[in-house]
Structure 1
Amino acid sequence: MPDHHSHGERHTHVHPRALRLGVCGPVGTGKSSLIALLCRELAGRLSLAVVTNDIYTDEDARFLRSAGVLDADRIRAVETGACPHTAIRDDISANLMAVEELEDDYGDLDLVLVESGGDNLTATFSPALVDAQVFVLDVAGGGDVARKGGPGIERADLLVVNKTDLAPYVGVDVAQMVADATVARGTRPVIGLSRLDGTSISELLSWVEATLDAHRTGALVPQDPGPMARHVHAHEH
C-alpha cells in the first residue's frame, strides 16, 4: 500500500525552481529602477537574485549593487558583446549559465530577475530563458509609442508604462497612452507605474506575486511573444 503520508511530506518540502522573470525594453525606460523597486519591496519575504545585461560593461549591475537592494553577490552581470537581444533570444547560453549558477549558489531562490540591455521595440526573451516577461515603456519616449506595436508591446506577459509622474513635463496623456496599449494588447495586462504612486506599485507587486503563484502550481506556461510578423491573409473574403 502506498505511503500517502510520506508522499505528502515530500511534496510539502519540495522547493520549485525559481521563477525566472525577464525585464526588457528600450534604452532609458527605467528597467534597472523597476528591478530595484521590486527588490526593495519583495526582498523581505522572497529570496531574490538578478542577472543584468550590458554590451561592454557591468553598469546596470553596479547600479543595483550601489542601491543596496540585495547582497552584491546575488547580482550577476553578463557582458553580451553584441546587440542585447542576441543574448536574451538568439544565444542565451551566457544568461542561462548565470541564472543556473545563482540557483546553485542560493538553492532557496523564489525569483530571478533577468534584465535585458536596452534594445528596440522588437526585442523579447526566449521562453527557454525566462518563464514570463515584462516589457517596459516610459512616457518620456512619447505617448504614441504604445500605438506603434511590436512583439513586446503586444504580447509580453505584462506591459509597464513607466515614469507616469513625468507626464506633465513631457506633454503626454497617460490615460490615453495606457488605453492605446490596452487596445494593442487585448486581455493582457497594462500597468501605468510611478515610484511616487503607491497604488501602481501595489498593482505591480500583485502581478508579480500572482505570476509566482502560477509558476509554483504549474499553471504558468512560458509564452513566446515573438518577434514575428503579423499574418495577413489577402485571400480572406
Structure 2
Amino acid sequence: MHLDHGTTYPERHSAAKTLPDGSRRALRIGLGGPVGSGKTATVAALCRALRDTYSLAVVTNDIYTREDAAFLLREAVLPPERITAVETGACPHTAIRDDISANLEAVEDLEEAVGPLDLVLVESGGDNLTATFSKGLTDAQVFVIDVAGGDDIPRKGGPGVSTADLLVINKTDLAPYVGSDLEAMARDAKKQRGELPVILQSLRTDPGVETAADWVRAQLADWAAPAARPA
C-alpha cells in the first residue's frame, strides 16, 4: 500500500489519521538528535516498555549503513519483521524533512506487512540541532541530546531543542564525570521551550525510560480518542 506522495514536503500538516480502507493508521513519532545522544538506546528502551501493550514497529535512518536497525535486531526489542531501515545516502535532514518518500514508503510497508499498528517510531540518523521532521512524515517529534555534549546545548537552542514536542536530556548519570550542570540544562531548556515538556533521563538508573514512555502513552491515548464533534 503506497499512498500518492511526491518528493518534497514543505511544512504541511500530517497525513489523515485513516488509511485508504478507512481504518486508523499508526501514530508516527520521530526521534532525532546529535550523533551519540542515545536515540537508538531510547528507541530500544521504548520498545521494551510498550511492546506488551501496543502494536508497534520501527524505521531507522543511517546514511550508508543499517547499524541502528542491526542494533535493535541484536537486542531483540521487537520481532525482526517489525524493524526496517532506510539508507539515506545523504544528510539525514533530507530523508526526514525534505524528501521523505523513502521513509513514508517504509512506514506504509510496515503497516501493510504487520499491521494494524498503534505506533511507528521513526529514528533519524545522527544530526545537529537544526534537525526536524516533516509534519508529512511524523505526528510528533522527540529530540534527544546528552549531557556529554556539553551543558550549553539547551542554551544554544535550534529547532530541535526549542520546537520538538518532547526534549530528552539523556545520560544524566554521566553529569558528574563530564562536568555538566543538570540544573542549568533544565533551566536553559525551559527558557527555550516555554511550556513544552523536558525530561532528564538516564537509561541506566531508575526510572529509566518510563517517563518518556508515559509521554508516548499519552500521545497514543490522544491519537485514539474520537474526534470532537462541532458544538
TM-score grouping bracket, smaller chain normalisation: 0.7 to 0.9
Among 112, 116, 121, the alignment partner of 2:129 is 121
Counterpart mapping for 1:52-67 below 5 A: 52-67=60-75
SS at match of 2:209: helix
Identify the residue that residue 44 of structure 1 maps to in structure 2: 52
Cα deviation, residue 176, structure 1: 1.4
Cα deviation, residue 72, structure 1: 1.1
Q: Which runs of 5+ in 2 are unaligned?
A: 1-21
2:104 and 2:214 mapped to 1: Cα distance? 26
Counterpart mapping for 1:72-151 below 5 A: 72-151=80-159
Cα deviation, residue 218, structure 1: 5.8
2:23 and 2:222 mapped to 1: Cα distance? 14
Q: Deviations over 1:151-189 (max 9, x none)?
A: 110010000000001111100111211111011100000
Cα deviation, residue 121, structure 1: 0.5
2:40 and 2:119 mapped to 1: Cα distance? 16
How many matched pairs? 206
Identify the residue that residue 34 of structure 2 maps to in structure 1: 26
Counterpart mapping for 1:184-199 below 5 A: 184-199=192-207
Identify the residue that residue 229 of structure 1 maps to in structure 2: none
Cα deviation, residue 198, structure 1: 2.6
Contact preservation (8 Å) 2:143, 2:168: yes
Cα deviation, residue 106, structure 1: 1.7
Among 142, 150, 164, the alignment partner of 2:172 is 164
Contact preservation (8 Å) 2:30, 2:140: yes
Contact preservation (8 Å) 2:100, 2:137: yes
Instruction: Please report the TM-score for the alignment, with normalisation by the length of structure 2.
Output: 0.86
SS at match of 2:52: coil
Cα deviation, residue 195, structure 1: 1.0
SS at match of 1:77: strand
Moved over 3 A (4+): none
Cα deviation, residue 15, structure 1: 5.5
Counterpart mapping for 1:178-189 below 5 A: 178-189=186-197
1:93 and 1:108 mapped to 2: Cα distance? 21
Q: Deviations over 1:9-49 (max 9, x none)?
A: xxxxx862111000000111000000000001111111110
SS at match of 2:53: coil
Contact preservation (8 Å) 2:84, 2:106: yes
Question: Alignment identity in percent?
Answer: 63
Q: Which has the bigger relative contact order, CA under 8 A and spacing at least 6?
A: 2
Identify the residue that residue 25 of structure 2 maps to in structure 1: 17
2:63 and 2:134 mapped to 1: Cα distance? 18
Identify the residue that residue 224 of structure 1 maps to in structure 2: none
Instruction: Please report the TM-score for the alignment, with normalisation by the length of structure 1.
Output: 0.84
1:181 and 1:118 mapped to 2: Cα distance? 20
Q: Deviations over 1:73-107 (max 9, x none)?
A: 11100000000110000000000000000011122
Contact preservation (8 Å) 1:26, 1:121: yes
SS at match of 1:198: coil
Question: Which structure has more helix as a fraction of its residues?
Answer: 1
